[in-house]
Amino acid sequence: MKKIKQSLLTIGLFLCATLPAFAQPGAREDNSMLLTYLFLGTCALIILLQFAPLMAILFGIVKGIFGKKPQEEVKTAPAKIR
């Protein structure tokens, strides 16, 4: 058990010491910023366009709740004309 513990400790220390050597030297450079912004803009446009029907439905609900309700017409008997 002591031998396995020592082996794992040695391997762990070795990996901790060598892993930074595999790191990239700097920031990754690519030229996809325009495509990224176009994609994000398209996603935002889709989300914003879905708000139009939502606002129409909400407006109808609020208008139905708080709007004036039509009064029922009172039916009267026709007057007799001589």
Tens of pLDDT, residue by residue over 33-51, are 888 899 999 999 999 999 9
- For residue 78, is it within any domain? no
Number of separate domains in the chain:
1
Nearest Cα to 62, choosing from 54, 70, 73? Answer: 54
pLDDT 10s digits, 12-41:
777 767 666 666 666 666 667 888 899 999
Provide the domain limits for residue 50. Answer: 36-62
pTM score: 0.41
**56 located within any domain:** yes
Residue 82 or residue 36, greater confidence: 36
**Distance between CA atoms of 65 and 69, rounded to whole angstroms?**
9
In a domain, 48, yes or no: yes
Residue 42, domain member (yes or no): yes
For residue 17, being part of any structural domain is answered with no
User: Rounded to an integer, what distance in angstroms lies between the CA atom of residue 41 and that of residue 11?
Assistant: 48
Q: Please report whether residue 15 resides in a domain.
A: no
Whether 44 maps to a domain, the answer reads yes
pLDDT at 6: 80
- Closest to 59 (Cα-Cα) out of 67, 47, 50, 70: 67
Burial of 69 (C-beta count, 10 Å sphere; 0-12/13-18/19+): exposed
3-class secondary structure, 70: coil
